[in-house]
Structure 1
């Protein structure tokens, strides 16, 4: 039996297609009809990243030298951030193992296509790399992403770190406690201290705070929503026989396997269970396509471990379709979700309030310069972005109108790629005043209304304004 998560993915994708195509369009040669992955409102561009969604490797959104300067006389006195861990290996032995089990059956029975014959050896090599790294651990690229991020914060705020060094300020690193978050914190610190050695002894030993940075796992109301909400259950129930999802899945499978073998897969002849936790199965072609896709999207983040070229096994249009269905699941499970509902992001209030506490602690005239860096997960960043209504996370969906790439700007690759981050820089003025600037994925970003900057077009806000307006951005439903 397919998991409810997979049910939501496929239901979202297939129903979304029905919402944005006509019958004539759906009859075109494309397996997706004429589904538009862009935005009719111009709020988002078509996906061009290979369909890697939230597994997209990190790229800073803006060059360090391109930020709007602080007003004359203002110098940095504090910075704080939260970042997702860097690129990683697969989270567990699951997608890859099930894909290999299916391939081994087809190989034994002589049911592989010419492309399919290449898949097994490539998959075994990828699995070996995952085992060497340790499932769920940072890849070489993930290490580099956070070391470079640590270096860039020192390049952005050299006067702050000089003040921390000379005034005995504190730099803290806090993680969720998961290994990949712990390692991200350590590598960030190494990048920072390598760029600005004078603060190496000001970086405190890394600590953990799962209540602050892994809140999705402990919030009872959210867990109930995730497991029992009838709207999610209804979407999952719709997946079983939607023709469009099955067509896409068959298209993916026949690239690797003969049509006769895929017919048997579709008929339910094979039941495979992962040899990791034993909680995931392949029972049909939709399950198998999902396992293949989720194996494929980890490969860009493991570029330091090999030249995988898994694009030869997944056609671009198929990858984009699966990207959409995965984005739909994350949108409803972690992101903006349904109009009038805040259960998916209200739990991030604890993190918002921690940012405000950090800000308040550095607004007094006697405050010592410092920096607080936090390291977490997509399940942290996505709700936090929705809570703050950061760009791309501003639009909820009415019940009965399914999220699509045409009617909503939300994209996992933009909202929470690997290494995604939110940073606040605090500056002190000659009169003792303070100003705050926000960076989202290292791009200077305005706070959402009703927050008002110090002047039109400015990215700077007073702490008093943020204390006033941030609780108003996402009030309880």
Structure 2
């Protein structure tokens, strides 16, 4: 299911691709905006000394060639058989136009994505200047995917505009997939994604949102009856989800659309959807993310436990800094599938609550708040040089957040010793030690 549009969008006039990110909430394809700009003062005697960071890649293009999509294949075949309606011919041209824009950009971050990441980096430097006052090293880790490397470069460009010496002190750790694409290595998690109990909840929601009716009405716009009759219900659902996915990517690639001489009217996929259909498809897409990557029906389910290697890595790297300061910042760039379960495993309030009623899941979890493009989690470590104690502040998308089950008298600042003990207990319940083989853990995860 493609990532979708929150109902708020339906209340805002559509101004083409020049919309501000705040007016276009598209689930995981929501453009990034910081969630907070004024912060709680640091307790007296403490200053920031270290940053532990993981972020999703920036706003991106489609992840596969549009010619490989079901919608492209179906429309092309129908056109060759002369069974497209007038609307179908218009849709085909929109798809071809999007393909023109996407040429040579597939799976890469967009100009908007690069700007998101530069902005996060610049604000990090401005807000945590004490961390960047020395010539200490920074470690940058990515996954095997090119868009995470592109995201790292964009982020570093933002830091370097504030601190040129940083360019001489950066170490790269490419393809750190045990920590950042942990979901690739668990066969049990793969089985859960395909056939887990979440599918029952999803089908309940799909029935409530009348997905079959939406798909049927949508397909009727584009194909003549004799061809339409040959499409199965699954075909129609795949078709509407593909076209919806094309629609939701447009804000992310606005600069590239303009660069190839196209305008909003050349890619007006929205015209084929009713407002109610957009709202339903948005909710369904967000639900699938919630159920498969986030707290879902069980915030201790495999879709959350699979992120344990990253939590162990955050503790280990924080320990390493406190012991011998190898780097002043660990900067990781990954995916939505990394951020959502990690936020849940950490117990971040607003990102870690499960539901027992899928029809109301949006009351406890919203994709655009947790995993928009460039989503990020930061642990900011503060030191009191007088007594040697440390505090940690947690940020989700640059917003100070609370940790479920962990108390503090100085919110949003938590005592590091208490934080470490809290998370070590959590890892112990998952049968994972800090020095264990993370790859083996993932292979054996049940």
**Common fold: TM-score over 0.5:** yes
2:419 is aligned to 466
CA gap of 1:83–1:266, structure 2 versus 1, over 3 A, is same
8 Å CA contact retained: 1:345, 1:383: yes
CA RMSD of aligned residues (A): 3.1
Q: Report the counterpart of residue 344 of structure 1 in structure 2.
A: 303
What stretches of structure 1 of length at least 5 have no aligned partner? 10-33, 38-47, 272-281
* Partner residue in 2 for 1:147: 118
Q: 2:355 touches 2:361 (CA, 8 Å); kept in 1?
A: no
**Mapping for residues 19-418 of structure 1, pairs under 5 Å:** 52-63=26-37, 66-93=38-65, 97-104=69-76, 109=82, 111-113=84-86, 116-133=88-105, 135-163=106-134, 165=135, 169-229=136-196, 231-232=197-198, 234=200, 244-254=210-220, 256-257=221-222, 261=224, 263-264=225-226, 266-267=228-229, 269-270=230-231, 284-306=235-257, 307-308=263-264, 309-339=268-298, 341-364=300-323, 367=325, 370-398=328-356, 401=357, 403-405=358-360, 408-418=363-373
Which secondary structure state, in structure 2, belongs to the residue aligned with residue 336 of structure 1?
A: coil
Structure 1 pair 68–239 and aligned structure 2 pair: CA distance change class (3 A): closer
Does the residue aligned with 2:53 lie in a helix, a strand or coil?
strand
Structure 1 residue 241: deviation in Å? Answer: 9.0
Is 300-309 or 373-382 further displaced after alignment?
300-309
CA-CA distance at 1:87 after TM superposition = 1.0
- Please list the CA deviations of residues 96-121 of structure 1 after superposition, one character each: whole Å capped at 9, or x if unmatched: 743234334555636434x5554332
Deviation at 1:436, TM superposition (A): 0.9
Deviations 1:65-107 (A, max 9, x none): x111211221211001000111111111358743234334555
Q: Separation in 1 of the partners of 2:138 and 2:187?
A: 33
Question: TM-score scaled by structure 2?
Answer: 0.81
SS in structure 2 at match of 1:304:
helix
Residue 283 to residue 321, structure 1, CA distance change in 2 (3 Å)? closer
Could you tell me how far 1:127 is from its partner in structure 2? 1.0
DSSP-derived class of the 1:247 partner? helix
Conserved? CA contact 1:80–1:355, under 8 Å: yes
Cα distance, 1:198 vs. partner?
2.7
Cα distance in 2 between the residues matched to 1:354 and 1:249: 44
The CA distance in 2 between the partners of 1:223 and 1:346, in whole Å, is: 13
Name whichever structure is richer in helix by fraction.
2
Partner residue in 2 for 1:12? none
Shift of 1:242: 8.8
* Paired residue secondary structure (1:155): helix
State the partner residue of 1:444.
400
Unaligned stretches of 5+ residues in structure 2: 11-21, 258-262, 431-445
1:367-388 deviation per Cα after TM superposition (whole angstroms, max 9, x unaligned): 4661110010111111111112
Q: Is the 8 A contact 1:87 1:301 kept in 2?
A: yes
Query: Shift of the alpha carbon at 1:411?
Result: 1.9
